[in-house]
Structure 1
Amino acid sequence: MRLKQLFSLLALLVSAQSFAVESIDNCAVGCPTGGSTNVSIVRHAYTLNNNSSTKFANWVAYHITKDTLASGKTRSWKTDPVLDPQDTLAPADYTGANAALQVDRGHQAPLASLANVSDWESLNYLSNITPQKSALNQGSWAALEDQERKLIARADVSSVYTVTGPLYEREIGKLPGTSKPHTIPSGYWKVIFINSSPEVNHYAAFIFDQDTPRDADFCQFRTTVNEVEKRSGLILWAGLPDAVQDKLKSKPGVLPELMGCQN
C-alpha cells in the first residue's frame, strides 16, 4: 500500500512539473517555427531553440513585466546543464575572443530586464549568449534593450514580448579558444510587441549587422517582420490567423515611435 502511495505521489510531482513548464509562455502569439529542429528549452527567464551545429540559439523569446526587472546580479558564465556539452559552448571556449575578434559575451535575453525571475541565473548560460562585437553589444543593441525597459515602465504597458536571434550571412571568424565546430553570427534580428498581441498593439522589428558602429542609432535598423523571416528562415507569430500575419508582417509597425524613433 505504501509503495502504491509513493508511486501516486511521484506521478503527481511529475504532473505538476510538466504543468509548470507548459504554463510558461514567453511568446504569447506562438514561438518561431522552422529552421533547426534541435532542442527547445522553456524557462521562466526565456524560451530558446538551440542549434547544435552553430552552437548558438536559433532564437530566444522572453517576456518582460514590471516584476522581472532587477539590477546588481552577477555574470557567472556556465554551460547550459540541459544541453549535451558538444551542442553548446563552455566558458573556456571564449578565451581570447575579445582580443582576437573584439567580441563580448552578448546576452540574447537581457540580464537586467529579467534578473528578478526565479531562474535568472540561466540568463548567464552560454545557450543564451553569442559572441557579439563589443561596439554593437555596448552600443545600439544595449540602447534597444534599454528602450524595452522604458516601455515596461509606462502605465499603459503591462508586458513586453521579444524574440531575437542570429543571422549567418557571411563568415565572421572563429573563436580562438575552442576546437569545437561553430559559426559566429554575422548579424542579429529582434522583434518586439507590447501587451497581449501585435494584432491590437504596437510592434517593431530590427536587423543589426555584427559590424554596426558603436555610436549608431538603433532606429536606423528598423525593418519588417517579413524581412526578418526572409533572412532568418523562421516563421514568427505563428499563433495568429494567416490573414492577420499577412497584414502585420509587411508593415514596419509603429512601436518605434514610443521608443524615441522619428519617422
Structure 2
Amino acid sequence: MRIRNLQFAFLVVMVVLASCRKDNTRDVLNPKGTEVRFSSSINGEIKTKAVGNTWEANDAIGVFEKRGTGLTNILATNKSYTTTGDGAFQASATDQTIYYPEDGSQVDFIAYYPYKQTLSGTTYPVDLTNQTSQPAIDLMYASAAGLSKTSSNAQLVFSHQLSKIEITVTKGQGVTDLSGLTTSISGQKTTASFDLATGTLSGQAQVANILAKTGVTGSTMLAEAIVLPTTDATGTKVVFTIGSRTFTWTMPDGTAFEAGKKYAYNVELKGSSTGTSDVAATLKATVTNWVDVPSGAYSLDQQDVVANPPTASAYMETPLITTDENKVYVFHTVPGQASVRNYAMLFDKKYKMAYWVAYPLVASYVGSSGRTDAWQFDPSIAQADQVDLSSSFGNGYDRGHQIPSADRTASADLNQTTFYYSNMTAQISSMNQGIWANLENQVRTWMAKGDTLYVVTGASIKSSTDATITYAKGAAIPKYYYKALALKKGDSYYTIGFKIDNAIIPSTVTYNNFRVSVSDLEKETGFNLFPKLSEDIKGNIDNTIWN
C-alpha cells in the first residue's frame, strides 16, 4: 500500500511538472501581454491606399518590432497584419500576433505594403514587370517609434516608394477607334531592392519595356504604369499600338519621376485614315496637378479648372489666390453655360478640403429645382485627392456644404454641383443644422437688398490658439467657419463677416453674436478677402444694411 501511495505521488508530481513546462512554453511563444494593434494613414491622410482611395478587405502589411536604429535588434520578424478595409490592422493569425514588452519598455515598428511571406533578410524585392495588379506591386513604407504597452495603438504613416504614370489617350484626326489599344513604356528599369532597415531603394536593374495596364474610361483610354523613381526620364518613349498601327510619343526634356508622385498626361493619337502617315502621339496637356504632383500647368476641362491661377482676383468675390503643390484653384461654371461662373474654391489635396468657396449670389441662381442629394466626386479634382463622402463623416459630423445647396436651385444640374465632395467639410451636426443653417437663410434674404451679393465661405483647420489638426474620414476637421459678405447696391459696397466655432452652439445664441468685420476676418484667416475693395469698406459694418 505504501509503495502504491509513493507511485501515485510520483505520478502526480510528474503531471504537475509537465503541466508547468507546458504552461511555461506557451507563455514564451505566445505571452499573455498587451497585443499591438495598428491604425494607418498615408502621407498624413487617413484610410487611403496606394492604388485607389480606400483600403480593401484583407489587404496585408508586413510588420517588424524592434529596438534601436535599423533592424539589428528585432523582437518580431515580418508578421502579417490585415485590415477589413477601414485602415485598422490586426494580426492575420494567432502566430502572427505582436506584443508589447511587459516590462513597459519602449519599442519601434517598421511596416511595409504589400506583404510578402518570404524575404531575404530585411530586403524587399521590387519587380514591376507585370502591371496587371498594381496594388500588388505599389510599395509603401512606414515606421513608428517609442511605443510601449501604455500606447492605445501604433499609428503607421505610410509613404509611397515608387512613382506612377497615368496617360489619358484620346482619338485625334484619322483615328476612329481605340479598341485593343496597348501602351508600352520603353527602356525602364523594372527590378530593385528595398532596404526595410533604412527605407531606401537600390540595385535598380533589368531594363525592359513596361506594358501599362489599360482600361476604358468613357470615350478615352487610360494607361497606367508604376515605375521606379528616377532623376532623369528625358527621352523615354511611349508606344501606342492599335492593330497594325503604332504611335510613338517621347516624354519631354526635364522629365523625372519622384517617389510618391503621380504624373498624368493627356495624349492624342493622330494619323491619316489609311494609317499610312501616322503622326507621333501629340502631347495635348502637360503634367496635371494630380496627387502630390509638384505645381505645374493645369488642364482645362470646359473651364472647370483655370490654367495658371492668377495672383490677383478675376472676380469681386474671389480672395487673392496663392497656390502650391497641395493647394489648387478650382473654378466651376454653370452647367451648359460655360460663360457664366458658378463658384470657385481653393482646395488642399493634403487636407482634402477647401479653405474657401467663393461665389456670386443673385436671384437667377435660385429657383425651384430643390435639393438633389447628388453626392459625387468633383470632376475637376482627381478622386484620389478627395474623400469619398457617399456616406456621412460619422461621429457627430455632417457633410457640411460651403456653398449651400439652397443657393443653387435654378436647375437640377446646377444644384448637383453643390454636392461635389470638394465642397464638403466635417461640420458638427447641431451647428450645421442650427445656427449655420439660420445664417445661410439670412444670407439669401440679404441678397434681395442689393444688385449682387458676393459670398466667401471658409473653413479653417487651425486657429490662433490651436494649431493641432484632427481628421474625419481622412479630411481635416475645421476649427471654425466663417462667411464674408460684400453687397453691391448701385455704386456702393457694404461688407460684414461672421466667425463661428465648429462646436455645439446653444440654441439661445444667434449668428449675430458672431459678427465681425471683413478686415478682422482677414487678420484671423490670413486671406485677402474682396481685394478690390478698400480697407475702409472692409473694416465697416453698416447696420442699416445688415439689420
TM range (shorter): 0.7 to 0.9
1:59 maps to what in 2?
356
Q: Matches of 1:214 and 1:69 in 2, distance apart?
A: 30
Residues 152 and 247 of structure 1, relative CA distance in 2, 3 Å threshold? closer
Is 1:31 the equivalent of 2:345? no
Q: Residues 483 and 499 of structure 2 are in contact (CA less than 8 Å); yes or no, is this contact kept in structure 1?
A: yes
2:517 maps to what in 1?
224
Query: Which of structures 1 and 2 has the larger relative contact order (alpha carbons within 8 angstroms, sep 6+)?
Result: 1
Tell me which of 473, 476, 481 is aligned to 1:183: 476
Aligned-partner residue type, residue 63 of structure 1: P
Q: Matches of 1:39 and 1:223 in 2, distance apart?
A: 28
CA root-mean-square deviation: 3.3
Q: CA deviation at 1:226?
A: 2.3
2:41 maps to what in 1?
none
Is 1:248 the equivalent of 2:546? no
Aligned-partner residue type, residue 192 of structure 1: L
Mark the runs of 5 or more structure 1 residues left unpaired by the alignment.
4-14
Q: Residues 431 and 505 of structure 2 are in contact (CA less than 8 Å); yes or no, is this contact kept in structure 1?
A: yes
Q: CA deviation at 1:86?
A: 2.6
Q: Residues 399 and 424 of structure 2 are in contact (CA less than 8 Å); yes or no, is this contact kept in structure 1?
A: yes
Once the two structures are aligned, what percentage of the paired residues are identical?
27
Q: Matches of 2:381 and 2:432 in 1, distance apart?
A: 25
Where do 1:11-90 residues align within 5 Å? Answer: 28-29=315-316, 31-33=318-320, 36-37=323-324, 38-44=327-333, 45-71=342-368, 72-90=370-388
Q: Residues 79 and 88 of structure 1 are in contact (CA less than 8 Å); yes or no, is this contact kept in structure 2?
A: yes
2:22 maps to what in 1?
none
Q: Give the number of the structure whose residues are more often strand, by fraction.
A: 2
After superposition, give the CA deviation of every residue in 1:141-171 in whole Å (9 maximum; x if it has no partner): 11111111112334xx221110111112245
2:421 maps to what in 1?
126
Q: CA deviation at 1:217?
A: 0.5
Q: Give the number of the structure whose residues are more often helix, by fraction.
A: 1
2:257 maps to what in 1?
none
Q: Matches of 2:424 and 2:314 in 1, distance apart?
A: 19
2:400 maps to what in 1?
106
After superposition, give the CA deviation of every residue in 1:41-89 in whole Å (9 maximum; x if it has no partner): 1123311111112111011001111111134222121111211223221
Residues 147 and 92 of structure 1, relative CA distance in 2, 3 Å threshold? closer
Q: How many residues are paired up?
A: 231
After superposition, give the CA deviation of every residue in 1:89-116 in whole Å (9 maximum; x if it has no partner): 1125745x1xx2x111111011111121
1:211 maps to what in 2?
503
Aligned-partner residue type, residue 208 of structure 1: I
Residues 114 and 92 of structure 1, relative CA distance in 2, 3 Å threshold? closer
Q: Which consecutive aligned stretches of 4+ in structure 1 deviate over 6 angstroms post-superposition?
A: none
Aligned-partner residue type, residue 103 of structure 1: Y
TM-score when scaled to structure 1? 0.75
Which of structures 1 and 2 has the bigger CA Rg? 2
Mark the runs of 5 or more structure 2 residues left unpaired by the alignment.
1-172, 174-299, 308-312, 334-341
